[in-house]
A and B are shown apart, each in its own frame.
Chain A
Amino acid sequence: MTDEDLRTQLAKADPCPPTQPVDGAGSPRAQNLLEDVMSTPIDHPAAEHPTGQPSTNAHRSRRWAAVLAGAAGVAVAAALVANASLGNSPELPPLALAMPAADSLGSCVVFDASLLAAVPVAFSGTVKDVTDDGVVLDVDRWYASDAGEPSQVELSIADGPNSAALDGVDFTTGQRYLVSATGGVVNGCGFSGPATAEYEAQFTAAFAN
C-alpha cells in the first residue's frame, strides 16, 4: 500500500472531512469572536470568555486566569533572561543528571501541572554541546533545585541505542529546552521538552508561588 493509498484510506475515517462545512472566517459569529479576542488586553488577564458571555464555569475562568497569568510571567521571565547569570552561582560545578534508559519505558502518567510543581529539579536552558557521553546545557532559569543553581547542567546518556533522545525529543545544540528531573533522572513523558511559549507558560504557572 503506497503512502497515497494509506492517506486515501485514512481519509475515510476523518471525522471532519474537507467537504463538511465549518463556520467561515467571515461569518458574523466569527467576526464577533475575532473582536472579542482582540479586545482582550495582552498584558491583563481576561475577565470574560472571549465569546463575550460570562463564563458559566468558574473552573474554566480560573484556568484561563492561570494560563494568562502564566503567559504574563513568561514575559517577565524573558526579560530576566539577559540578567540570569546574576542569579546563578558560577562557582558551583555543573549539576549532573541522567537520561532515562531507552528500555525504561513504563506507562506514562498523564501530564499534570501539580505533578510538575512537585518535582525537585526544573530549569530552562540551551544546549551548548551534544557528545556521545551526553548533553551540556547552559541554564537561563531555575524553577526548582535541590542543589543550588549552577549555570550548567550535564545530562549523561544511559547505555543503550541511540543518541540524546528523550521520548522523541532530540536535544540539539543551540536549541532551548525545559527540563524536570526526579531522583537525579530526567523526567520524560511530557515533563521535559523543547521550550515553546506555551510549555514555558505551563512551567511558570506550575512553579509560581
Chain B
Amino acid sequence: MDTDPDVDHDPGAVAGRRERFELLFALVYEPLQRYVRRRAESTLVDDVVADTLLVLWRRLDDVPVANELSWSYGVARRCLANQRRSAARPLQLVQRLETDPTAQISSHSTETAAEVQVDLLRAALAELDDDDRELLRLWAWEQLEPREIAVVLAVTPNAVSIRLHRVKQRMRQSTQQPDVGKNLDPGGHKPLEATKEER
C-alpha cells in the first residue's frame, strides 16, 4: 500500500501542514516543557519534548480541536514512558523517590511549618501509584479539568472524576498535621470544651 498521496508531494498541503504545526507549537511548547520537567530528570527533558513534538508533527491530523494541549500531554506522557522503558529501568519505589523531582524530601535539620507541609505533600505523592499520582498532578499542576484529564489518560471523564475524588480525599488525610498543643491553655491544661464537660 502506498504512503499518503498528498503530504510531501503537494506544496500547498505542505505549506498548510507547516502553518498548522507552527500554531500548535506556539500553543504547546512551553507547557510541554513544564509538564516534562515536573515528572522527569532534567537530563531527559529535551529528548522527551523533542520526541513529543515529532509525534505531534507526524500525527498532526489526529490532534483533536479544542483539546490540543491535553492530547499533547498524553503524547508526552507516553514518550516519557518510552524513554524510561528504553533505559530498561523499571523503577522501584526507592529509585523513584531518588529520581522523581517531586519526591525530594528536605533533609534540613530545622524546617519551618511550611517546609514540613511540603515534605508531607511530596511523601504523600510518592506513596500514590503511578496512575493516581499522574491524575493528581494533572489536576493540581497542569490545572486540568476531568474532561481534559480524560483526554490525556485516554479514559472516560466519569472514570477520572471518580478516581480523582478518591485521590484527593486520600491526600487530604495524608497531609493533615496533628495540632498538638494548639488548643491547650498555657501550662498545658485541658481545653475549655473539656473543662465544660467536667462541670
Contacts and interface: CB of A to CB of B under 8 A. Distances in A.
Interface residues of A, number: 58
Interface stretch (A14-22, A89-97, A117-125, A137-145): A14-22
A51 B59 CA distance: 19
B184 interface: no
Main secondary structure of the interface of B (DSSP, over half): helix
Taking residues whose C-beta sits less than 8 angstroms from the other chain, chain B's interface range is: 35 or more
A40 B57 contact: yes
B143 to A, nearest CB: 8
A208 interface: no
B53 A51 contact: no
Given A12-B118, A13-B122, A23 B33 contact: yes
B62 interface: yes
Given A15-B102, A76-B1, A196-B154, A71 B58 contact: yes
A12 B57 contact: no
Interface in A73-128: 75-76, 79-80, 110-113
B171 interface: yes
Given A13-B125, A196-B154, A24 B140 contact: no
A25 B50 contact: no
Contact of B86 (A1, A9, A60, A168): A60
A91 B123 CA distance: 56
A50 B53 contact: yes
Contact of A51 (B46, B57, B82, B139): B46
Given A60-B47, A71-B58, A9 B121 contact: yes
A130 interface: no
Contacts, number: 150
A31 to B, nearest CB: 9
Nearest to A11: B140
A33 B58 contact: no
Contacts of B158: 170
B190 interface: no
Contacts of B147: none
A38 B37 contact: no
A42 B47 CA distance: 19
A14 B53 CA distance: 24
Given A15-B38, A196-B74, A25 B30 contact: yes
B54 A6 contact: no
A68 B182 CA distance: 60
Given A50-B53, A168-B159, A59 B141 contact: no
A32 to B, nearest CB: 11
Given A38-B57, A170-B156, A194-B155, A15 B37 contact: yes
B131 A10 contact: no
Contact of B29 (A11, A15, A30, A193): A30
Contacts of B189: none
A47 interface: no
B30 A22 contact: yes
Nearest to A68: B58
A170 B155 contact: yes
A76 B2 CA distance: 8
Interface of A: 1, 3, 6-7, 9-16, 18, 20, 22-25, 30, 33-34, 37-38, 40-43, 46, 49-51, 59-60, 63-64, 67-68, 71-72, 75-76, 79-80, 110-113, 165, 168-170, 172, 193-194, 196-199
Given A10-B140, A68-B54, A72-B3, 7 more contacts: A3-B168, A10-B171, A13-B102, A15-B38, A23-B29, A25-B26, A63-B86
